[in-house]
Structure 1
Amino acid sequence: MAMLRLLAALFVFVGILAGCVTALLLVILMVRFPPLLVAVLLACWIFNRLQKSARKAPW
């Protein structure tokens, strides 16, 4: 049982580490290529608008 917990904790750690590395690489790419920054900001804005419209929907 202890080995299973260790393995689960290892997978969680590796997953968090991979997520952090991905976020860091995305930030580096956005700084180097400004059109990517514009695309990410536009995608966030569209996603925000979609969330607001989904909350207002009567269904």
Structure 2
Amino acid sequence: MTLLRFLLCLFIFIGALAAAGVLVLSILLMLRFPPLLIAVVLACWILNRLLKLLHTLRSNAPTSDSASQR
């Protein structure tokens, strides 16, 4: 059981290192190529707008309880 826990912690550590490396590499690429930075910022802005739209649609949607009361 101890060996299994050690392997799990090892894989988590390797995954965290790989994620940090990918994050640093993507930041360096965005700083090296400004159109890539513009594309990422635009994609984040569009995602933010879509999430706000979906949130407002879900909060305004009628539920089955309010429909049955009519």
In the alignment, which residue of structure 2 is the partner of 1:19?
A: 19
What percent of counterpart residues are identical?
A: 51
Unaligned runs of 5+ in 2: 63-70
When the two chains are superposed, the root-mean-square deviation of aligned CA atoms in Å is 0.9
- Which TM-score applies when normalising by structure 1? 0.96
For residues 15-59 of structure 1, give each alpha carbon's deviation from its aligned partner in whole angstroms, at most 9, with x where no partner exists: 111110000000000010000000000000000001100100126
If asked which structure has higher relative contact order (CA below 8 Å, sep 6+), I would say 1
4+ aligned runs moved over 3 Å, structure 1: none
Larger Rg: 2
